[in-house]
Every structure is written in structure tokens, then in C-alpha cells.
């Protein structure tokens, strides 16, 4: 009776065997290729690794930052993507590969020069209390707009940081004052050393939006 | 003398065509493929699909030619395009065709889609061809966008960056999307390699079979709006109307008779 009902000559065992073999072949073909393509995502999202190693990079001296406008520094960070720039000899000397350049905007809070820097000689090392004071008053910002990542610039006439793409506006502290950006500019992790030199890490954060990454830069 | 040569050549040609037909069926395939009756009404509107196909063919051909000089690396991409535009003979010509036919392609695809929509050609039994067409327009749009980034100049780079930021707002998988497309958490050599792989290999490979399916479905159902299609539909409509009218009359008669 049951055999009569079974119109398909394939037995249950054969069906299961075919299914298992098919799944096996499918897995072997697809899973490695998907993981291969996704490996940067796995490293970045799951393992929270970055293309840019955490290193302090020299930015410049606090004595060079003028009042009323941000100073722009170009900083080159090492970048590891399709090749490992950490390997000596792997990359030819003088090649500009394995490097990502960031534009860093540095300004004093509200554009006011801290009083302790007035009439102060650059020769004297800074004391830790002074470093703490300067760290509080210094803005170290990335130039990528918080909206869509276009490069922002300081406009001397408007006294504002402007984005050319969709009209995002920030004040001298990088605080969002107009246009589509959801929050202010990204701030770098930085430190001021005794001789007044600022060092930055390729590690950006926004005070109001923890966890969000700027990408691209 | 000349007449004899003429006759002989004609005979040779016929023999060759017959030989080919017997072995490959080429002649009958071409007859089937090329002779598609199109409605008298509309005329030029029915050439938009062929124009799209022509422009895509141009894209494939000039794209292959551009690959002879283009270098997909962050250091050399822009310079290699500069070389194509200034040093290579006919470089401006080849890249100009690739650039402008890509622009016109998007326009013509839009018109083609509009014609299909406004004439109702997406209606049964041609829905699947509309669906395939939607996938085609998506692929072509992404091709245009990735091609823009391959230039690796300020404009192309920041257009890509804006695209990445938009992708990063994808719900739940935003981080995965943007890192997948960037090849990391910053833009760099891996980004350009990925854009190159997508533009030159992945999408054209996906595009070609879909174009084949699009054309197969067109040949299967024919152009919409052919006279026979209208006449058949109209006859059907007339018949159903007559039937309804007749039934109503019968209904009325029986209704009055019952009282």
C-alpha cells in the first residue's frame, strides 16, 4: 500500500543522502568565500580591530595654536589593509603605501588663548596642573563632517567650520550649530607632553554619541 | 562572364549558409532572434530597449579597453587615468565613450522603463520581465556609482565616502555593510580593490546573464501592443460584455415573469 502511494522511486535513505551531500557541497562552496569577502568586517566589527595601529603621532606644539581660529595639521597614520606595512622590507622605502593621512583641526576653547600661555616662554617645561588646564581647553578634531564624511574647513569670514557637501555648520569647538549633521565633529584621543607637544591617537569619539565610528578617515 | 561569376558566388554563399545551418542551426536561430514583429503604433518608442543594449555593449567594449591602462591602486589609479586621457592614443576617445555612454545609458534606461510603465507593458504575462529589468537597473546604477569611485579623485572619492556613510545607517547591519565595502574601518587600498572587483567582475558577470533572460522573455512574449494582442483582447472584452448583457436581459425577463 505504502509503496503504491510512493510515486517517486527515490527511497527515504537516498533522499537523505542526497540532501546531506548537497548541503555539504553547498557549505564548502559558499561559507569560505563569504568569510573571505567578509574578513575585514569580522576583524573590525566582531574583533574590534582597526586598520590603524594604536600609536601616538606628533601633531605640533600648543604654543603654535593661534587664538580665534583652528590650526590644521596633516598627520600620517600607518594603515594595514591589503598588505602589512609593519613588516620590514615588505614595502619599498619611500613609497607612500600603508599610510592614511588625516587632517586634524586644533583650536582653543571658544578661540580664547589660555591665560597661562600669555607671556610664557616655550623653554620652560609645563607642569602637570598646566597640562591638565590646557587639555581641558584644547579641541583636537577630525575634519570629516559628522553627517556624510565630507572634509570640513574653517571659514575666516563666517568664523565657523563649514562643510561643502550639504551645508553642515560647526563652531570653533566643533560643536554642531546648523545643517544636517547629527552631532559635533569627532575628537581625537590626545595628550600634551611637558615640552608642549600634542600627540594624537587614531581613536575618535563624540561625547554625545558613544560607540559610533567615523569610518573612512 | 560577370554574370557567371555572380551566379557562382551566389551559389557558393548559399552552399556555405546551408552547411552552417545544417551543423549549427545558425540561420534559423538568427531568423527567430532578429525578426520580432513590432506594433506600428509607438514606432520609435520601441527602439529604447535596443538603444540600452547598444550602450551596454559599448560599456563592455570600452571598459575592456580601459583595463589595458588602468591600475587599481590608491597611488596609481588617478595617474593611470591621467595617462589614458593625455598620453595614450585615442585614450580620450575611449574613455569619453565609456563616460558619456554610461551617463546616457542611465537616461535611456529611465526612458525605457517609463515607456514600459506608461504603455502598461509590465502587465501579464510580462511581469517577470519587469522584475528582471528592475534588477538590471539596480546593477547599472551600482556600476555607475562604483565607476565614479574608480577615478580616485576628490570628487569620486568623496562621492564614495558619502555612499559609505549612507550604507553605515543600514539598520542592524550598518557596521557590516560599511566595513564590507571599505575592506576595513578606514578607506585605503582595500577599498579601491573592492570597488574595482565589484565594478569590473562581479556586476558585469551578474549583468550579462540577466540581459540574456531579459531578451529571452521579450522573445517569448513578443512586444506589447501588437495588433493581434489588441484585437484578441478587444474580442474577448466584447464577448464578455455581450454575455453579461444577455444574462442581464434574461434576468430581467425572468424577474418580471415571476411576479
In degrees rounded to 5, what are phi and psi of residue B61? -65, -50
Q: Say which DSSP state A151 is in.
A: B
Query: Which residue is associated with the grid cell 501579464?
Result: B124
Calculate how close chain A gets to B67, using CA atoms only, in Å: 21
Q: Which residue has the cell 565609456?
A: B98
| In a domain? residue B99 | yes
Please report the pLDDT score of residue A196 as a whole number.
Answer: 87
Contact of B139 with B210, CB cutoff 8 Å: yes
Q: Are the CB atoms for A197 and A61 separated by under 8 Å?
A: yes
Sign, Cα dihedral of B208, B214, B217, B222: negative
- Identify the pLDDT of residue A96: 44
CB spacing of B176 vs A45 below 8 angstroms: yes
Residue B245 lies in a domain: no
Which residues in chain A are closer than 8 Å to B175, comparing Cβ atoms? 41, 44-45, 213
Q: Does A37 touch chain B (CB under 8 A)?
A: yes
Q: Cell numbers of B158, please?
A: 568623496
Question: Distance, in angstroms, between A137 CA and closest chain B CA?
Answer: 29
Question: Which of A44, A82, A148 is nearest residue B179 as measured by Cβ atoms?
Answer: A44
Contacts of A52 in chain B (CB under 8 A): 185-186
Is B32 domain-assigned?
no
What is the Cα–Cα distance from A174 to A183, expressed in whole angstroms?
9
Q: Is the dihedral of CA B233, B235, B239, B242 positive or negative?
A: positive
Range of the domain at B159: 42-221
Residue B181 to chain A, least CA–CA distance (Å): 9
Contact criterion met (CB < 8 Å) for B165 and A147: yes
Q: Are the beta carbons of B166 and A38 separated by less than 8 Å?
A: no
Name every chain B residue with its beta carbon within 8 A of the beta carbon of A38: 176, 180
Residues 6 or more apart in contact with residue B46 via CB below 8 angstroms: B38, B39, B223
Number of domain units in chain B: 1
Residue B48 predicted with pLDDT over 60: yes
pLDDT more than 90, % of chain B:
59
Tell whether B257 is covered by a domain: no
Residue contact B162–A148, C-beta within 8 A: yes
ipTM, interface predicted TM-score of the complex = 0.80
DSSP class of A127: P
Which one of A43, A82, A149 has the shortest CB-CB distance to B189?
Answer: A82
DSSP code for A126? P
Whether A200 contacts A75, CB under 8 Å? yes
**Residue in chain B lying closest to A48 (CA):** B185
Average pLDDT over residues B194-207: 96
How far is Cα B54 from Cα B32, in angstroms, rounded to an integer?
Answer: 20
* DSSP run (H or E) holding B145: helix B127-150
Indicate if the pLDDT at residue B259 is higher than 50: no
**Gap between the Cα atoms of B216 and B36, Å rounded:** 12
- Name the percent of chain B lying above pLDDT 70: 95
Average pLDDT, integer, range B154-175: 90
From the list B93, B108, B115, the residue with the least C-alpha distance to B56 is B108
Which one has a higher pLDDT value, B229 or B75? B75
B interface with A, Cβ–Cβ < 8 A, is 74-75, 158, 161-162, 164-166, 168, 175-176, 178-180, 182-191, 193
DSSP code per residue over A172-214: TT--EEESS-SS---EEEEEE-TTSEEEEEEEEE-SSSTT---
C-alpha span between A37 and B184 (Å, rounded): 11
Q: Which residues of chain A have pLDDT under 50?
A: 85, 93-94, 96
B9 domain-assigned: no
pLDDT band at B176 (very low <50, low <70, confident <90, very high): very high
**The CA-based dihedral angle spanning residues B236, B240, B242, B244, taken in that order and rounded to the nearest 10 degrees:** -170
B74 vs A contacts (CB less than 8 Å): 97
Q: What is the mean pLDDT of chain B?
A: 89
- Cell numbers that stand for B127 in this block: 511581469
B179 → closest Cβ in A40, A83, A150: A40
Cα dihedral A77, A82, A83, A84 sign: positive
- Rounded CA gap, B78 and B213, in Å? 36
Return the closest-CA partner of residue B70 out of B98, B37, B100.
Answer: B98
Where does chain A show beta strands of DSSP type E? 57-61, 71-78, 99-108, 138-142, 153-155, 160-162, 169-170, 176-178, 187-192, 197-205
Record the pTM: 0.81
CB pairs < 8 Å spanning A and B: 88
Asked whether the beta carbons of residue A40 and residue B188 sit closer than 8 angstroms, the reply is no
Q: Which of A68-82, A85-99, B4-18, B244-258 has the lowest mean pLDDT?
A: A85-99
Q: What is the dihedral of CA A70, A71, A72, A73, to 10 degrees?
A: -140
C-alpha cell at B157: 572619492
| Contact status of A128 with chain B (Cβ, < 8 Å) | no
B113 within some domain: yes
Q: In chain B, whose CA is at the least distance from the CA of A37?
A: B180
Give the span between the Cα atoms of A64 and A73, in whole angstroms.
11
> Which CATH number is B106's domain given?
1.20.810.10
Residue B161 lies in a domain: yes
- HSE, CB side, 13 Å, CA atoms: give it for residue B46: 15
Q: What is the pLDDT of residue B204?
A: 97
Asked whether the beta carbons of residue A149 and residue B158 sit closer than 8 angstroms, the reply is yes
CB contact under 8 A, B185 and A100: no
Inspect the interface and report whether the beta carbons of A43 and B184 lie closer than 8 Å: yes
Q: To which H or E segment does residue B148 belong?
A: helix B127-150
Separation between Cα atoms, residue B182 and residue B195, nearest integer Å: 9
> For the purposes of burial, counting CB atoms within 10 Å of the CB of B109, is it exposed (0-12), middle (13-18) or buried (19 or more)?
buried
pLDDT of residue B258: 46
Map residue A144 onto helix, strand or coil: strand
Decide if B231 is inside a domain: no
Partner-chain contact A79 B188, CB within 8 Å = yes
Cα gap A112→A130, rounded to integer Å: 16
Amino acid at each position: 500500500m505504502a509503496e503504491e502511494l510512493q510515486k517517486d522511486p527515490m527511497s527515504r535513505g537516498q533522499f537523505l543522502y542526497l540532501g546531506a551531500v548537497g548541503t555539504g557541497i553547498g557549505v564548502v562552496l559558499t561559507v569560505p568565500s563569504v568569510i573571505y569577502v567578509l574578513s575585514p568586517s569580522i576583524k573590525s566589527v566582531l574583533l574590534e580591530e582597526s586598520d590603524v595601529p594604536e600609536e601616538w603621532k606628533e601633531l605640533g606644539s600648543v604654543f603654535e595654536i593661534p587664538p580665534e581660529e583652528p590650526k590644521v595639521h596633516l598627520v600620517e597614520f600607518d594603515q594595514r589593509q591589503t598588505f602589512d606595512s609593519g613588516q620590514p622590507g615588505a614595502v619599498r622605502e619611500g613609497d607612500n603605501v600603508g599610510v592614511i593621512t588625516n587632517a586634524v583641526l586644533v583650536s582653543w576653547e571658544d578661540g580664547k588663548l589660555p591665560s597661562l600661555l600669555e607671556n610664557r616662554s616655550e623653554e620652560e617645561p609645563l607642569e602637570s596642573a598646566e597640562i591638565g588646564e590646557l587639555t581641558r581647553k584644547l579641541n583636537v578634531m577630525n575634519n570629516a563632517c559628522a553627517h556624510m564624511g565630507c572634509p570640513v574647513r574653517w571659514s575666516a569670514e563666517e568664523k565657523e567650520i563649514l562643510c561643502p557637501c550639504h551645508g553642515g555648520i560647526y563652531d570653533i569647538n566643533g560643536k554642531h550649530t546648523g545643517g544636517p549633521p547629527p552631532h559635533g565633529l569627532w575628537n581625537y584621543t590626545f595628550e600634551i607632553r611637558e615640552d608642549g607637544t600634542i600627540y594624537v591617537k587614531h581613536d575618535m569619539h563624540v561625547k554625545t554619541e558613544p560607540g559610533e565610528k567615523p569610518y573612512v578617515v | 562572364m560577370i554574370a557567371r561569376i555572380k551566379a557562382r558566388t551566389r551559389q557558393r554563399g548559399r552552399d556555405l549558409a546551408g552547411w552552417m545551418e545544417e551543423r549549427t542551426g545558425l540561420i534559423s536561430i538568427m531568423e527567430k532572434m532578429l525578426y520580432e514583429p513590432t506594433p506600428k503604433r509607438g514606432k520609435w518608442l520601441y527602439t529604447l530597449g535596443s538603444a540600452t543594449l547598444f550602450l551596454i555593449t559599448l560599456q563592455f567594449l570600452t571598459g575592456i579597453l580601459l583595463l589595458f591602462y588602468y591600475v587599481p591602486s590608491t597611488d596609481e589609479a588617478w595617474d593611470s587615468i591621467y595617462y589614458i586621457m593625455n598620453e595614450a592614443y585615442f585614450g580620450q576617445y575611449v574613455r569619453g565613450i565609456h563616460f558619456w555612454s554610461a551617463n546616457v545609458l542611465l537616461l535611456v534606461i529611465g526612458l525605457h522603463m517609463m515607456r514600459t510603465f506608461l504603455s502598461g507593458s509590465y502587465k501579464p504575462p510580462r511581469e517577470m520581465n519587469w522584475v528582471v529589468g528592475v534588477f538590471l537597473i539596480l546593477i547599472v546604477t551600482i556600476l555607475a556609482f562604483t565607476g565614479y569611485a574608480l577615478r580616485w579623485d576628490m570628487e569620486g572619492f568623496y562621492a564614495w565616502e558619502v555612499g559609505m556613510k549612507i550604507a553605515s545607517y543600514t539598520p542592524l547591519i550598518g557596521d557590516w555593510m560599511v566595513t564590507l565595502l571599505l575592506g576595513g574601518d578606514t578607506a585605503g587600498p582595500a577599498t579601491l580593490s573592492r570597488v574595482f572587483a565589484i565594478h569590473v567582475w562581479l556586476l558585469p558577470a551578474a549583468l550579462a546573464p540577466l540581459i540574456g533572460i531579459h531578451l529571452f522573455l521579450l522573445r517569448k512574449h513578443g512586444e506589447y501592443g501588437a495588433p493581434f494582442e489588441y484585437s484578441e483582447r478587444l474580442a474577448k472584452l466584447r464577448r464578455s460584455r455581450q454575455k453579461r448583457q444577455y444574462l442581464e436581459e434574461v434576468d430581467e425577463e425572468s424577474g418580471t415573469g415571476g411576479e
